Amino acid sequence: MKELINKVVIVMFIASSLGACGGSSKSNEPPVVVPPTPPVPVVDHSGLTPLSADIILIEEYLTGGDATVFVDNQDAFGTRPQMIKTNFKQDGFFTAGDHLFRTKHTDIGPLLNNPVCQNCHISDGRGELPSSQTQPMLTMLFKLADETGAADPIYGNQLQPFAVQSFDGGDINLGLAVYDGSLNGNELVGEATPYIEYEIISGTYPDGSTYQLRSPIYRIKDLSFGDFTNNIRFSPRLAPAIFGVGLLEAIPADNILALVDASDQDNDGISGRASMVTDALSGEEMLGRFAYKAQNPTVLQQVAGAYQGDMGITTSVFRDEPCSEPQLSCNFIAEQEIKTADKTDVSDKELALVEFYNRVLGVPARRGYDTNSELWLDGIIAGRKLFFQANCVGCHTPRHVTGEAAGSVLGELTLLSLEPDAQPIALLSGQTIFPYTDLLLHDMGGSCVVTREMADGQLCTGGAQCEYVQRCEGLADDLIQGDAGGTEWKTPALWGVGLTKTVNPQATFLHDGRARTIEEAILWHDGEAENSRNAYMQLSQSERQQLLQFVESL
């Protein structure tokens, strides 16, 4: 108030002075008082006070808000939250969706990667790499496209190594690929056989500590429908964990778009882009959020896409069988399948149950926090500060706030059917969550080359012994998918990452599982993440351990 009075006095003095000097003909008018402009509060993309590197909040312990579960064993990724457990109807829907997720459907195939959702997402967590070059790939898949991003005219946009008989007769080898084995139109085997070789890359930290990374070489042989199209690219993808997706779906799109910095206006070397994709049901352009290149906008579309591409199961979202027109034997077997009343392999109610199950799976609470003392472990506090200082948060945005989580567009689940106008899901609405992702695309650098070679490395142009081989520098896959280019990936959420091997001891990290540890995953970062990786490498050994301790607490 005193400051305001002083300003009024000054304004009156100036006005009277101007009047005395003949500077104004309106000396009798009252002085104009201009109140001070209040400072604009600094808020983040969610409208909250920005997080500090120096202060860790108590609420960070509740990673998923009301959807947080307090389980840190093998069931950490497959547990229902308390609000679901205490709601009789929703608990029943969760149980039914869980059953469908763990059970082989009828009418799988004719071509597929695996007949059961849970077989890829082991214990609702990550898949695992084959233990040898001769073991079939059961939890990993290959996306396909030419240099423009167009699907292969014969093999489509995804390689399916199995035909349906691999999972019908008790012998998985019955449906494995055979060179030109499906060309006659009467017999069907898997499309091809992919396998992995590794080269070891050795490196040294500035402090003299050493490390080793595995650089994968991907090989595909035994093509059963003839050669791939010219300029083919391959993108290997290991099945990711599925918990928390309902919360990520409920983040308002405007909040995520507020994080976009495509031209790097803040000059931090990071320029996240939104992946804008088409909703398969509405035809509208929407923000992509799911899968490794953010090519799906909703949990429903992600689930339906997996049903079609991974298991050969049709739904009302994707009604086509996984057979291209030239694949005569695949189409012939598909015509023999028994469809639902909607002429799909799975009904809308079954699809809605699996969607609900995926959306409401609980997010495990953070470790390293003492609820009695309300204190965090010192190493986690120190590691969190280092994580912020290295600008890892430039992509791995720690905190978001969800809006209203709309019910399924398929309808409201009831005990007997689906009804119109599904109600919002309270568990997922209005939650403060800590997933550590911006859901944006980032250029991670690198490049790829595809050749044709014999097993001994000699170049070739065709024939039963001639394999397709893809070698990549860095994390690139060279495959265009939707808005995402061949070096771009969506920032993965880090919540639960420290429990990955607790849930599945054989699990590994990054999109293709090449990183055996979180440390190796960090060291593979490049492109927009180069500065953060270098900052990590410059840390002392004890500081690197603190940063890893923090990440493993997520």
| pLDDT by position in tens, the chain (length 554) | 334 334 333 333 333 343 433 444 445 666 666 667 666 668 999 999 999 999 999 999 999 999 999 999 999 999 999 999 999 999 999 999 999 999 999 889 999 999 999 999 999 999 999 999 999 999 999 999 999 999 999 999 999 999 999 998 779 999 999 999 999 888 999 999 999 999 999 999 999 999 999 999 999 999 999 999 999 999 999 999 999 999 999 999 999 999 999 888 888 889 999 999 999 999 999 999 999 999 999 999 999 999 999 999 999 999 999 999 999 999 999 988 877 667 899 999 999 999 999 999 999 999 999 999 999 999 999 999 999 999 999 999 999 999 999 999 999 999 889 999 999 999 999 999 999 999 999 999 999 999 999 999 999 999 999 999 999 999 999 999 998 999 999 999 999 999 999 999 999 999 999 999 999 999 999 999 999 999 999 999 999 999 999 999 99
Q: Is the separation of the CB atoms in 336 and 344 below 8 Å?
A: no
Q: Assess if residue 335 is contained within a domain.
A: yes
Q: What is the pLDDT of residue 22?
A: 42
Co-location of 436 and 367 in the same domain: yes
Co-location of 337 and 446 in the same domain: yes
Q: Assess if residue 327 is contained within a domain.
A: yes
CB-neighbour burial class of residue 285 (10 A; exposed 0-12, middle 13-18, buried 19+):
exposed
Co-location of 32 and 158 in the same domain: no
Co-location of 291 and 429 in the same domain: yes
Q: Assess if residue 45 is contained within a domain.
A: no
Cβ count near 188 (within 10 Å)? 27
The number of C-alpha atoms within 13 Å of 354 and in the hemisphere containing its C-beta is: 26
Q: Assess if residue 482 is contained within a domain.
A: yes
Co-location of 486 and 458 in the same domain: yes
Q: What is the pLDDT of residue 90?
A: 97
Q: Is the separation of the CB atoms in 32 and 11 below 8 Å?
A: yes
Q: What is the pLDDT of residue 26?
A: 45
Nearest to 136 by CA among 195, 216, 179, 219: 195
Q: What is the pLDDT of residue 38?
A: 62
Co-location of 13 and 109 in the same domain: no
Q: What is the pLDDT of residue 30?
A: 66
Q: Assess if residue 43 is contained within a domain.
A: no
Number of domains observed in the structure of the chain? 2
The set of residues, in sequence order, having a beta carbon less than 8 Å from that of 22 and lying 6+ positions away, is none
Nearest to 201 by CA among 489, 501, 526, 477: 526
Dist CA 489 CA 272 (whole Å): 10
Q: At what angle do helices 541-553 and 378-389 cross, to 10 degrees?
A: 100
Q: Assess if residue 44 is contained within a domain.
A: no
Query: 331: domain range?
Result: 58-553
Co-location of 11 and 96 in the same domain: no
Three-class DSSP labels, 401-447? ECCCCCCCCCCEECCCCEECCCCCCHHHCCCEECCCCCCCEEECCCE
Co-location of 118 and 24 in the same domain: no
Co-location of 216 and 361 in the same domain: yes
- Give the helix/strand (H/E) hosting 286: strand 285-287
Co-location of 351 and 257 in the same domain: yes
Nearest to 324 by CA among 112, 194, 152, 109: 152
Q: Assess if residue 159 is contained within a domain.
A: yes
Q: How far is Cα of residue 492 from the mean position of the Cα atoms in its chain?
A: 5
Residue 213's SS3 state is strand
Q: What is the pLDDT of residue 24?
A: 44
Co-location of 317 and 376 in the same domain: yes
Nearest to 392 by CA among 257, 547, 256, 282: 547
Q: Assess if residue 370 is contained within a domain.
A: yes
Q: What is the pLDDT of residue 341?
A: 63
Co-location of 14 and 126 in the same domain: no
Q: What is the pLDDT of residue 8?
A: 33
